[in-house]
Amino acid sequence: MIVKQAPKKVANIVELCRTLLSNCFVTKRELAQLIGKLVASKYGVLYAPVFYKTLEIQKDTEMKLNKGNFDARIILSNDSKECINWWIENIYDSYKPIVFKAPNRKIESDSSMLGYGALDVTNNLKLIGVWSLNIRNLELDTCSVKIRYGDLLKQTRPEYQLPEIFIEAFKPDFRIFVVHTLHEYLERTNKLKLNNTQLTCDFGRLDLTIYLINIKLQLR
């Protein structure tokens, strides 16, 4: 059994979508009105939130820039236009099952754009993405290391800064901890690196691993 939108509601959404696309400028009030109708249609459109999230992001951004003025005129971004076109092309045939079959495979992930990491829940496997971390993102001394990674992860809250990763050295003897090893590595390979300031890193679900040429350091 499935749920579909009433033909009258579908026609109303399509008409509003075409009206917004035909205008060079739209008000935030008009955009918010469309978003409200799309959100209300999620019970009859499978994965509907995927196809109005971009519109919500632009609306929130414009609201901040215009200090909450709903009558301010804005230009729809290309991504927003693509979302609106998707609704025009697909809403007539869209539906949502009342009961879903159990998935063959379940994968949980975060919102990174660069493959931060995921977990294959079905097979209990970690899926790890590899990317480069600039040495300039490291704040290192003999007792601790701070890793700034906020520019590597996607997040939709304006002006929100992701917290730094702070790792403190083992106090009884800091020389046996990874902070000291990392410090030594950077000093001893400084001449070899020349202008290269990138470290190849991968983030797993439960730990952070940094690969430094032939040295593998695990930060727990």
Q: What is the pLDDT of residue 207?
A: 41
Among residues 181, 178, 184, the alpha carbon closest in space to that of 165 is found at: 178
CA distance 182 to 97: 53
Among residues 102, 86, 103, 106, the alpha carbon closest in space to that of 45 is found at: 86
AA letter at 68 = G
- pLDDT tens readout for residues 42-97: 999 988 998 999 999 999 999 888 888 889 999 999 999 999 999 999 999 999 99
Question: Residue 27 class from Cβ within 10 Å (0-12 exposed, 13-18 middle, 19+ buried)?
Answer: middle
Residues in the chain: 220
**CA 58 vs CA 32, 35, 84, 150, 175: distances in Å:** 10, 11, 13, 21, 49
Cβ distance 162 to 150 under 8 Å?
yes
Q: What is the pLDDT of residue 78?
A: 93
Pairwise pLDDT comparison (136 vs 3), residue with the higher score: 3
- pLDDT tens readout for residues 11-34: 999 999 999 999 999 999 999 999
Q: What is the pLDDT of residue 197?
A: 52
pLDDT band for 6, please (50, 70, 90 cuts): very high
Residue 205: alpha-carbon gap to chain centroid: 16
pLDDT band for 206, please (50, 70, 90 cuts): very low
Residue 123 neighbours by CB under 8 Å, 6+ apart: 105
Residue 188: its H or E element: helix 178-188
**CA 152 vs CA 102, 147, 197: distances in Å:** 34, 11, 16
Among residues 187, 192, 185, the alpha carbon closest in space to that of 210 is found at: 185
Q: What is the pLDDT of residue 41?
A: 92
